[in-house]
Structures are given as structure tokens and as C-alpha cells.
Amino acid sequence: MIRAPLALAALVLAPFALSAQQAPGSISEWEVPWSDTRPRDPYAGPDGRVWFVGQTGNYLAVLDPKSGDFRRYELAPGTFPHNCIVSGDGIVWFSGNRNGTIGRLDPKDGRITVYPMPDRDIGDPHTLIFDSRGDIWFSVQGDNAVGKLETATGKIHVVRMPKRGSRPYGIVVDEADRPWFVEFGANRIGTIDPKTMVLREYEIPDPGARPRRLALSGGKVYAGDYARGKLVRLDPATGAFTEWANPAGARSAPYAMIVDDRGRIWQAETGVQPNRLVGFDPATETFLAPVPVSQSGGIVIRHMTFDPKGKTIWFGTDAGTIGRMPVGGAIP
């Protein structure tokens, strides 16, 4: 394990700036027909349909945005799916957050294949992400690890965090197939060499930082600091950090996070009601005008995905809706 040195001089406090540009598009929402099931983590498949999980409802489901129709696939009792992703051939993968599995659904016949974790103490696969080979990297929050599933063989590799309670959470993969992840229980951002499986960690200078999700843009790593209400940027080339206060400040509680096809970072500010989506342009280092989500209160946007084909952001809410916001082509 290699840890980047902690240096307060590497932290740059950037001034808050709000762009005069308006948000690219309006938000649309579909009410999920199964109440109190926490629909979350929608992911657009190659046919335009949008898959999501019902975390407390123990199901996998798909929405046809054109017709508004939903279809539900029941999962094994005790799965409590947390996240799903869809491959280019339409296969849906999901994390079994309570039964220590990663599942595979073939929509053509509804067949589900389950891959159990290799060790009994790895019980809560969290967020999944593909690499360029179609293999899956995933975080394991409660059991303090990051793993990789070889989709062709079903073999699973696990890298454990050296610090107890690190809680690996949001995870993304860069162009070199390196996974990057935040440690929600610590002030750290981590990465793993895909060839050697060696872990490297970078410490955010403020020990009170608690990053929850992250995104990559322009070779830099951007993380939302849930505890302090800041957008944090890591330059992996130098180990230097820069940060900006979010528009809602210390109460913003940034949670879901994604990057669009123009390299702009989008965060969900969940400490304010209604939750709102906030864009950040790295080129100008300014925030776009916040976009409130239509629900009046009581919601949390936990994860977002970007559909490059439709140039849209997809998200789920605790209020029982699947939401969409177009972001492409509206800002010159």
C-alpha cells in the first residue's frame, strides 16, 4: 500500500463562483408503481429503456420512457439490491447488498445468475462500474474493501482497505482501467493498479472531510464532500487538492455525482429541500445555476448515471420516482 504524503500546502481554497448560464434542461419524473421500495440507481440500456433497483423492495425493474411502462423482476429474498449497470449487449448486473452477491440478469429470458463473494466477511457489494474489458469493479462499504469481478469467468478479486472503517463508497474507472473510489469513513480517495492490484490512497488535507461520490474530468478526480459541503478536486499527477464551497454551502450534503459528455461535474445537493442538481464547469471553475427537483421534500438522490446517447442524467429518489434531466447541447 502506497499513501500519498499529506501536505497542507497542497490544498488550494478556491473562491465560490456562480455562472450566469442557466441549467441545460428541465427535469422529468416517472412515479414508480411500487411504493416504499426505494427505487434507485437508474441506468440506460442500449435500447433506450432504463433499468433500476428497488433496494427495499428486493427487485430489479425497467422503465420504458416513451410509454411510461414498468416491468419488474423479482430477486431472491434477502438480496436488497443496491445498484445496477447495463452492458452494451443489454445484460443487467446488480449488487446484492445484503447477501454478498453480484447478480446477472439476461432480459431475453429473465434468467438470473448469481456470483457470491469469495469470502464470508465480504457481505455488502455496493456500487458497480464497468472497465473497458467489460469486467466489473465494485465497492464494499461496510466490509471495507474494493473488488473486481471477471465477467467471463466469474472470478472475484478483493483488495481490503488498511484503515478500519474506511467505507469505500462511490467508484469510477478511468481511461487506463484504474478504479478510483472515495472512502466515506475517512478523508481519503483511493485507486488500484489493475495489473498489480496494489492500492494507493490520497488523503484530503482536512481530516473532517467525508467524500461520498466522485467523478473524473480532464484527468482530475472530483469528489463531493458530504460532511463539509464542498467539491474537492485531486490532481493525481501532483497529489494536490483544490476545493470549492457548494452553492448551498455547509448544509449542501452533496451525494449523487456524475460527469456529462462535456466534462462538467453534476452533484445532487441533498441537505436542502427540495434536493437540487448543481453543475460545475471545470474549464471556468464556476457553478451553474442549481436546478430544483420537483418533489417538494423528503427525498434523497443517492446516485446518478449519465446516458451519452441521450445526453441525459438519470436518477432515482426516495420519494419513489425515476428522474431525467437533459444536459446536452443547450449551452454553447
Residue-wise pLDDT tens digits, 195-205? 999 999 999 99
Residue at 320 is within a domain: yes
In the predicted model, what is the mean pLDDT of residues 283-312? 91
Residue at 231 is within a domain: yes
Residue at 203 is within a domain: yes
For residue 225, what is the DSSP state? E
Q: Cβ distance 98 to 78 under 8 Å?
A: yes
Q: What is the CATH number of the domain that holds 12?
A: 2.130.10.10
Residue at 52 is within a domain: yes
| Number of domain units in the chain | 1
- At 26 the pLDDT is 87
Residue at 267 is within a domain: yes
Q: 244 burial class (0-12, 13-18, 19+ CB within 10 angstroms)? A: buried
Check whether 7 has a pLDDT greater than 90: no
In the predicted model, what is the mean pLDDT of residues 303-312? 96
* pLDDT band, very low/low/confident/very high, at 327 (cuts 50, 70, 90): very high
Average pLDDT of every residue of the chain: 92
Give the separation between CA 276 and CA 274, rounded to whole angstroms: 6
Its domain, for residue 120, covers 2-326
- At 66 the pLDDT is 97
* pLDDT band, very low/low/confident/very high, at 11 (cuts 50, 70, 90): low
Model confidence pLDDT, tens digit, residues 70-87: 999 999 999 999 999 999
* pLDDT band, very low/low/confident/very high, at 328 (cuts 50, 70, 90): confident
Grid coordinates representing 253? 450534503
pTM of the entire predicted model: 0.93
Q: Cβ distance 111 to 105 under 8 Å?
A: yes
Check whether 265 has a pLDDT greater than 70: yes
- At 183 the pLDDT is 98
In the predicted model, what is the mean pLDDT of residues 5-27? 50
Check whether 287 has a pLDDT greater than 80: yes
Model confidence pLDDT, tens digit, residues 165-190: 999 999 999 999 999 999 999 999 99
| C-alpha closest to that of 305 among 318, 288, 323 | 323
Residue at 332 is within a domain: no
Between residues 9 and 296, the one the model is more confident about: 296
Residue at 101 is within a domain: yes
Model confidence pLDDT, tens digit, residues 89-100: 999 999 999 999
Percent above pLDDT 90 for the chain: 89
- At 19 the pLDDT is 44
Residue at 331 is within a domain: no
- At 294 the pLDDT is 78
Model confidence pLDDT, tens digit, residues 123-176: 999 999 999 999 999 999 999 999 999 999 999 999 999 999 999 999 999 999
> Which segments within 4-97 are labelled E, that is strand?
11-13, 28-31, 39-44, 50-54, 59-64, 69-74, 81-86, 92-96
- Residue count of the chain, please give it: 332
